[in-house]
A and B are shown apart, each in its own frame.
Chain A
Amino acid sequence: KAGVTQTPRYLIKTRGQQVTLSCSPISGHRSVSWYQQTPGQGLQFLFEYFSETQRNKGNFPGRFSGRQFSNSRSEMNVSTLELGDSALYLCASSLMAVSSYNEQFFGPGTRLTVL
């Protein structure tokens, strides 16, 4: 079974631009969560999507948004990029949402650098 895929793997943008990242979950998994990883803040939860609906949202500004499609693929968007948005963005796939008792599997991540 193929794992979680994320595209692109690397991105370089300048301040003020916007960016869209894509994630395809493991086949059969319907929940997609997004996380941001930085050296200073570690791994932080952005949001979770299940059945095309945002189920949970972390403490990030409204510049960070996402969506999920009917095939469970998900995209996240960051508008008006700031230098502090430079990070590894990780997508995690799980079978279902609204359950503490299921595992999340991470994709390889997208490394975003904002200049």
Chain B
Amino acid sequence: QKEVEQNSGPLSVPEGAIASLNCTYSDRGSQSFFWYRQYSGKSPELIMFIYSNGDKEDGRFTAQLNKASQYVSLLIRDSQPSDSATYLCAVKNAGNMLTFGGGTRLMVKP
């Protein structure tokens, strides 16, 4: 069983809709949670991080964390075609090592 699980997708949403990306993790000691966006042929770009239970909003992005359920999600409001990319969930337990999920491919259709 992988430590960080994501649905590989593709997740297809129409332009202007809310895209909901989900991630589960197995290590209850995990302390911090990150969402990266990766365009094809490019390197991952950090878009959100969250450390505490609840919601964290940054512009069109909202990260949600539920440590009891070992679940973290990313909501993208008003999705744009330029949001089409692979979204990587990453988790740290102790220390600075990131453990990544396999990524979810998001497609936003005009």
Q: Do A and B come from one complex?
A: yes
Which A residues fall within an 8 A CB radius of B? 31, 33, 35, 42-45, 48, 50, 55-56, 58, 88, 90, 92, 94, 96-109
Chain B proximity of A47: nearest CB distance (Å): 9
Q: Which of B31, B42, B96, B102 is the one whose CB lies under 8 Å from A104?
A: B96
Chain B residues within 8 Å of chain A by Cβ, number: 25
Contacts of B46 in A (CB 8 A): 103-106
Complex CA distance for A56 and B98, rounded to whole angstroms: 11
Q: Which residues on the A side are within 8 Å of B96 (C-beta)?
A: 31, 33, 48, 50, 55-56, 94, 96-100, 102, 104
Residues of A within 8 A of B45 (CB): 106
* Pairwise interchain contact B31-A101, C-beta atoms closer than 8 A: yes
Known: A48-B97, A94-B96. A107 touches B51 (CB 8 A): no
CA distance A104 to B97 in the complex (A): 9
Docked CA distance A44–B34 (Å) = 15
The reply to whether B102 and A45 form a contact with Cβ atoms under 8 Å apart is: no
The answer for the CA separation of A44 and B4 in the assembled complex, in Å, is 12
Kindly provide the distance from the CB of A30 to the nearest chain B CB, expressed in whole angstroms: 11
Out of A43, A50, A94, name the residue touching B44 (CB < 8 Å).
A43
Nearest CB of A to B36, in Å: 8
Q: A33-B96, A96-B96, A100-B92 are in contact. List 9 more A-B contacts (CB 8 A).
A: A45-B97, A48-B95, A92-B98, A98-B96, A100-B95, A101-B31, A102-B96, A104-B98, A106-B43
Contacts A101-B51, A105-B46, A106-B45; A42 near B100 (Cβ below 8 A): yes
- B95 x A55 contact (CB < 8 A): yes
Tell whether, in the assembled complex, residue B98 and residue A45 are in contact, meaning their CB atoms are under 8 Å apart.
yes
Separation of A94 and B49 alpha carbons in the complex (Å): 14
